[in-house]
Structure 1
Amino acid sequence: MTIRPVLRALLLLLAAATALPGPAAGGPQPQAAFRRGVGVHSMLNWAQVEPADRTRYRSAPFDGPAYDLPDALIANVREAGFDFVRLTVDPGPFLQLSGAPREALDAKLLGTVRRFLGAGLAVLVNLHANSQVPRYDAVNWLHATDTPVFREYLAFVERTARLLAGLNSPAVAFEPINEPPYGYDAASVKRWQAMAEGLHAAVRRGAPDMLVVLTGARGGNRHGLLSLDPTPFRGSRVRYSFHYYEPYTFTHQGVASKEPSAALWRYVSDLPYPSASMPAAFVLETVRANVESEPGLDPLTRQRTVSAARAFVSAALAEGFDRRRIEAAFDEVAAWAARHGVDKRQILLGEFGACRTYGRYRAADPISREAWLRDVREEAERRGFAWSVWELSGYGGMALVSEDGASTLDRPSLRALGLYGP
């Protein structure tokens, strides 16, 4: 009998995924603590699209060397002392593709999870939408419970929960959405509550006992969590996530953003933490030099940009950001947990990170960045929160690897995280 090429490829992929060692196979056994994690954003995200139609994903959207991690890097993550990875998954291809390519995506996900389990790392699978294909950008569909895409998303969440539950591992957890760009007013906060309950219910239909990570709205920040009512989730095996990148001028310095409110980030570097730890004149001179080195600016635009960037940085320094601000923010989260009878060990600081200067990136100085990472991590641990740092590898300047493409980890970052590895 002749097997069509796509079906043949699917069968081979399923066989390979099934053959991958699970947590019971030889090698280190992952624990289910989920206390110290790192985001993995390069394996199942930013999928390949069709060149002739940028609204369509390729039938094998995550194939190729750009979507793999070396075994040596995964081993170094475990040896450094991390106990889990937060594996981001772009839901777009899963929602759009059908037939054999869609089945192959499930096999790809299972194979990736098994690979980490086999290396002794627990896995938090996080559905992490992006803006690549507008129909699947959460900004465009995450605004009501009755939109067709949201209903499709709930069905996908249930299917994925059932798939992961089939691994029969307590070292697998599921986070059904990342940073919902929603909930900045009272009405949408109320609607987000209904959405969160719907997502939780979808997970439970597919996986009655799996650990579920839930988030508030407002981009998943602490204010979003503070507006979430956890009452409907009592008795369920859940954790509650919030992300922390404050102050953004510090954590995102050097980032080239298209957002008007962040247009000046690209000119900021060596912004200190704590804010008062470096003379303002030195920082302002660095900003001026960064603008002056920008090619393609006419004299008038350059002059105006220098003035705007210096004013932007002066305002950031005037905030006087230091560890006390981190303490106050985390105290708010701890108080929310106490009000609602939530064990503080159920709180997950799901993302935190800051851009650093290395390779092609011009961002925070190493002393300030290490101090910020250490203070955030220690304040989280002091309250019993688990944490996951952003991110292991990738582009943008927050990577934990020593250099882009390397298998070794940045030692100052590990030191700040209280970890010691190869």
Structure 2
Amino acid sequence: MAFVRDGGVAAIGRRALGAGLLAGALAPRPSAAAPAPPAALRHGLNLTNWFRFPASPEPERLRAYLPDAAMAEIRAAGFTFVRLCIQPQVLLRADGSLHPARLAVALEAVERLQRAGLAVIVDAHPESWYPEDHPEHGRALLDFWRGMAPALRRFDPDRTVVEILNEPIFRDHAAWAALQEQALGVVRAALPDHWVVLTGADWGSLDGLQRLRPLRDARAIYSVHDYSPGILAGLASWEQGLDSDALARLPFPVTDAARCRAALDGSPHARTRAIGAHYCDEGWNAARLHAQLARAAAWGRAHKAPVMILEFGAHAHLNQAARLAYFEAFAKAAAREGLGWALWGYGDIMGFPARPGPHPARLDPALLRALGLGG
């Protein structure tokens, strides 16, 4: 996820404060059009906690997290795929090999999800690896795929997708390019026919994508994470101490800047009022959101490369009218641009919040309708 990492510092805030970034150095892809990605990669849902923050990494506890009935509910709601976020440390042993019993549960999870009718993106989603600063973390990523990629051979290449790394930071885009290409080589040695998700640096952002030159791989999909505008969607979570209750009153779409700023009346926090006023003055609406996603689609057309929005969301504390309007505008813009998407997430405050009980989250019918799902 793009919003919270490093003790609550949000990536989107880093970009907003942002340093200039170097252009990537991946080899250009050929001019011939690549095959279209699988039709199942249309409407997705991130499974955020199962193998990322498990209550226990022990196999029986892992297996019990998501029952078959919950998988069937996800599919019945209209989702066509899931992004299975796996923290490699959950599966890796100290010697760099994969823990056999935990790996077996992860593979069983892929099988069960596919049996429920869902395609699966298997996403390497570490929470404490920073390969841009620590070469040993890059080596650990390669170790993970040396074990994981061969284990995925038995799954349908059009329904089982490999994602090299979630949200690489990398101020040096050339360094990320080199590591991504090396990791792709590891994956391709075991999985020559599976689709693979690649991404740009800068936390997998749109800016990172636009600095990326695609690899020569006909079955590659390029990922973007987009939580724009972060003041609204994430309640400016990159900055500590703000009045989040006041920010949660902001409207979407913004039809009148003065009326928008009035939503901040009563907040005693000057910094919150200033940030909120900036959002109001920018005039965020469906057209501006569409323009944001159109930049990603334009990159894909220019490079003849499929692009997907594999993370987006809006904070559950945002007022319901704005939240639902935002989701509706996002889904419609993505559809107009032909972009598949995956909501962040199942059991997460940015999508369907976690709850106790046999199903880790409730699929809110109003949110599903806003996304164009749920019948």
> Shared fold by TM > 0.5?
yes
How many percent of aligned residue pairs carry the same amino acid?
Answer: 31
Match of 1:373 in 2: 327
Match of 2:196 in 1: 212
Residue 180 of structure 1: CA displacement?
0.9
Alignment pair present for 1:384 and 2:364:
no
Alignment pair present for 1:142 and 2:132:
yes
> Are the counterparts in 2 of residues 214 and 239 from structure 1 also a CA contact under 8 Å?
yes
* CA RMSD, Structure 1 to Structure 2 (Å): 2.6
Q: Secondary structure at the match of 1:201?
A: helix
Do the aligned partners of residues 311 and 175 (structure 1) sit closer, same or farther apart at CA in structure 2, a change above 3 Å counting?
same
- Residues 34-113 of structure 1: matches in 2 within 5 Å? 34-47=41-54, 60-61=57-58, 64=61, 68-97=65-94, 102-113=99-110
Do the aligned partners of residues 148 and 311 (structure 1) sit closer, same or farther apart at CA in structure 2, a change above 3 Å counting?
closer
1:283 pairs with one of 263, 283, 305: 263
- Residues 204-353 of structure 1: matches in 2 within 5 Å? 204-230=188-214, 232-234=215-217, 236-253=218-235, 259=238, 261-264=239-242, 266-267=244-245, 268-276=247-255, 279-280=259-260, 282-285=262-265, 288=267, 306-342=269-305, 346-353=306-313
Residue 280 of structure 1: CA displacement?
3.3
Structure 2: any 5+ residue segments left out of the alignment? 1-37
Larger radius of gyration, structure 1 or 2? 1
Q: 1:166 corresponds to which letter in structure 2?
A: R
CA distance in 2, matches of 1:66, 1:265: 39
- Residues 160-175 of structure 1: matches in 2 within 5 Å? 160-168=148-156, 170-175=158-163
Q: For residues 311-356 of structure 1, what are the alpha-carbon distances to aligned partners after superposition, in whole Å with 9 as ceiling and x for unaligned?
A: 22222222211222222222222222222232xxx21110111012
> Are the counterparts in 1 of residues 63 and 105 from structure 2 also a CA contact under 8 Å?
no
Match of 2:117 in 1: 120
> Are the counterparts in 2 of residues 155 and 202 from structure 1 also a CA contact under 8 Å?
no
Residue 37 of structure 1: CA displacement?
0.6
Higher helix residue share: 1
Q: Secondary structure at the match of 2:265?
A: helix
CA distance in 2, matches of 1:113, 1:330: 30
CA distance in 1, matches of 2:338, 2:372: 15
Q: 2:242 corresponds to which letter in structure 1?
A: L
TM-score, normalized by length of structure 1?
0.72
Taking CA–CA contacts closer than 8 Å with sequence separation of 6 or more, which of the two structures ends up with the larger relative contact order? Answer: 2
CA distance in 2, matches of 1:352, 1:262: 21
Do the aligned partners of residues 108 and 285 (structure 1) sit closer, same or farther apart at CA in structure 2, a change above 3 Å counting?
same
Residue 66 of structure 1: CA displacement?
10
> Are the counterparts in 2 of residues 414 and 420 from structure 1 also a CA contact under 8 Å?
yes
Q: Secondary structure at the match of 2:308?
A: strand
Q: Secondary structure at the match of 1:208?
A: coil
> Are the counterparts in 2 of residues 213 and 238 from structure 1 also a CA contact under 8 Å?
yes
Q: Secondary structure at the match of 2:89?
A: helix
Q: 1:280 corresponds to which letter in structure 2?
A: C
Do the aligned partners of residues 161 and 32 (structure 1) sit closer, same or farther apart at CA in structure 2, a change above 3 Å counting?
farther
Q: Secondary structure at the match of 1:214?
A: strand
CA distance in 2, matches of 1:285, 1:101: 54
Residue 415 of structure 1: CA displacement?
0.8
Do the aligned partners of residues 180 and 67 (structure 1) sit closer, same or farther apart at CA in structure 2, a change above 3 Å counting?
farther
> Are the counterparts in 2 of residues 159 and 206 from structure 1 also a CA contact under 8 Å?
no
Count of residues paired in the alignment: 334
Q: Secondary structure at the match of 1:330?
A: helix
Alignment pair present for 1:417 and 2:371:
yes
Q: Secondary structure at the match of 1:284?
A: coil
CA distance in 1, matches of 2:263, 2:326: 17
Residue 142 of structure 1: CA displacement?
3.0
Residue 281 of structure 1: CA displacement?
5.2
Q: For residues 114-163 of structure 1, what are the alpha-carbon distances to aligned partners after superposition, in whole Å with 9 as ceiling and x for unaligned?
A: 11111111111111111xxxxxx133x3347xx23312311211321111
CA distance in 2, matches of 1:158, 1:412: 42
Residue 222 of structure 1: CA displacement?
0.7
TM-score, normalized by length of structure 2?
0.81
Q: Secondary structure at the match of 2:263?
A: helix
> Are the counterparts in 1 of residues 54 and 62 from structure 2 also a CA contact under 8 Å?
no
> Are the counterparts in 1 of residues 97 and 147 from structure 2 also a CA contact under 8 Å?
no
Q: For residues 367-411 of structure 1, what are the alpha-carbon distances to aligned partners after superposition, in whole Å with 9 as ceiling and x for unaligned?
A: 2111111111111111111111110114xx223269665564111
Q: 2:216 corresponds to which letter in structure 1?
A: F
Structure 1: any 5+ residue segments left out of the alignment? 1-30, 49-57, 131-136, 289-302, 357-362
Residue 282 of structure 1: CA displacement?
3.9
